[in-house]
Structure 1
Amino acid sequence: MSIQHSQINLSRRSLFKFGAGAIGTGVLTAGLSSNLLAAEIAPAEDEITPDKALQELLDGNERFAQRKRRNPHQTYSRLAEIAKGQKPFASILSCADSRVPSEIVFDQGLGDLFVCRVAGNIATREEIGSLEFGSLVLGSKVIMVVGHERCGAVDAAIKGAEVPGQIGSLLEAIKPSVESSKGKSGDKLENACKANVLAQIKKLNSSPVLSELIKAEKLKIVGAYYDLDTGKITIVG
């Protein structure tokens, strides 16, 4: 991820305009270099609203599910266009599952999406920090947390699987969602997957950086569930 004056165009005034009470906690000043504080936000970053960004994701997925992909922004000219700067309109927190590649299922291309992928689509400190950067600095207007059908990580958490190495840390993060979904009618795994999506949204909403962007109507955070059989995204919440 390249950070340059011409790409980021972020000023100290822009960083703190969301309110000293919530963001003036050292999160921004400690995490962003003096280079980021030197310039102004480019007007182009504000041209798309959170609602329009969300609709663009949903429209792209509809094209994918209907086998009508346009494959936008996937040319070598697009590669050259964004080589020195990025302005993704949306961020995705999704599972690392190889069957859920964001750019494909949302029919997007180079420079369109800021994607964080981790098994179980959990919002770790590192994932939250990445999404804060994608929204505050790069100008992403929507964060979509995407769970999916038959998620192996959630299934393992349900079964209380004995796992080696650091895999257990993923399951521990998912277990509260498994507990909260118990007793609900319907498919147990699907219920837990959707509960996990909502739990990660709650974590993201607790971020001072993201919550202030939401209050300023510069960001929307939504949950979604991906059907592996149809390729269709449905909103969760």
Structure 2
Amino acid sequence: MNSADQPRTPTQAWAEMTRGNKRFVEGEPSHPRQDVERREQLLGAQTPHAALFGCSDSRLAAEIIFDKGLGDLFVVRNAGQIISDSVVGSLEYAVAVLHVPLIVVLGHDECGAVRAAIDSQVPDAAPLPPHIHHLVEKIFPAVKRVAAGSEDPSAAPDPTEVGREHLRDTVAELVQTSELISDAIAAGTLAIVGANYRLLKGMAVPDIIVGAV
């Protein structure tokens, strides 16, 4: 896909992301747009197909998972995909300046930040280092909701369920925090897909969609 026929609607962008992830899952990636010619094409400008906000986990290499190339994805990452001012500002730049039609928020199973948030809520748990605590405290509401809904109050919350709840919280906070992003969704020029990445299968599974794809 060259710059002339890149996806310009949320539906087209998500379809392209899905096709790329399917190739990756099936072990048949095409490794597109990774050559010298592509580097030269991008020298003056970038026109990414989508923005991706995901966890910093080393197993979530966005361009590999979705079989993308140079200049295809505008990627923002931190541990546990935690919303912050810098994250919102970066994603607003992608929408307002780069005109991406899609934001993918990517969580995953076996997330270390989710595990840290769960473990920190155990009675007599050792305190987390301050910066880590500040990072993962936004996962605490998801931990508490999952724990409250458990049939066994003494059991540790299911990390997969906590991760799913946190992903939904993240998408909701992004929409609520950014008027620019929420306005673009209302106008139909942008959609957000919150997906969970399955480490073993390599599949990005949609969980929450805001807008039309």
TM bin (shorter chain): 0.7 to 0.9
Structure 1 residue 55 displacement after superposition: 1.0
Structure 1 residue 45 displacement after superposition: 9.7
Structure 1 residue 73 displacement after superposition: 0.8
Show CA shifts across 1:65-91 (max 9, x none).
Answer: 100100011111101101110011101
Determine the C-alpha separation between the residues in 1 that align with 2:7 and 2:182.
21
1:213 and 2:213 equivalent?
Answer: no
Contact 2:6–2:49 under 8 Å retained in 1: no
1:174 and 2:139 equivalent?
Answer: yes
Contact 1:184–1:191 under 8 Å retained in 2: no
Residues 57 and 47 (structure 1), Cα distance of their counterparts in 2 relative to 1, 3 Å cut: closer
Determine the C-alpha separation between the residues in 2 that align with 1:189 and 1:231.
18
After superposition, residues 113-152 of structure 1 pair within 5 angstroms as 113-152=73-112
Structure 1 residue 204 displacement after superposition: 1.3
Contact 1:45–1:139 under 8 Å retained in 2: no
| Larger strand proportion of the pair | 2
Q: 1:68 aligns with which of 6, 25, 28?
A: 28
Contact 1:45–1:87 under 8 Å retained in 2: no
Structure 1 residue 47 displacement after superposition: 5.8
Contact 2:7–2:13 under 8 Å retained in 1: no
Determine the C-alpha separation between the residues in 2 that align with 1:59 and 1:45.
16
Equivalent residue of 1:121, what SS?
coil
TM-score for the superposition, normalised by structure 2: 0.86
Contact 1:226–1:233 under 8 Å retained in 2: yes
Number of positions where the alignment pairs a residue of Structure 1 with one of Structure 2: 193
Equivalent residue of 2:31, what SS?
coil
1:189 and 2:159 equivalent?
Answer: yes
Listed as ranges, the gaps of 5+ residues in structure 2 are 152-156, 209-213
Q: 1:154 aligns with which of 114, 137, 154?
A: 114
Determine the C-alpha separation between the residues in 2 that align with 1:233 and 1:47.
19
1:234 and 2:199 equivalent?
Answer: no
Determine the C-alpha separation between the residues in 2 that align with 1:45 and 1:128.
28
What letter corresponds to residue 166 of structure 1 in structure 2?
H
2:49 is aligned to 89
The root-mean-square deviation of aligned C-alpha atoms, in Å, is 1.7
Determine the C-alpha separation between the residues in 1 that align with 2:135 and 2:71.
29
Listed as ranges, the gaps of 5+ residues in structure 1 are 1-43
Contact 2:82–2:136 under 8 Å retained in 1: no
Residues 147 and 184 (structure 1), Cα distance of their counterparts in 2 relative to 1, 3 Å cut: farther
Equivalent residue of 2:57, what SS?
coil
Identity fraction in percent: 38
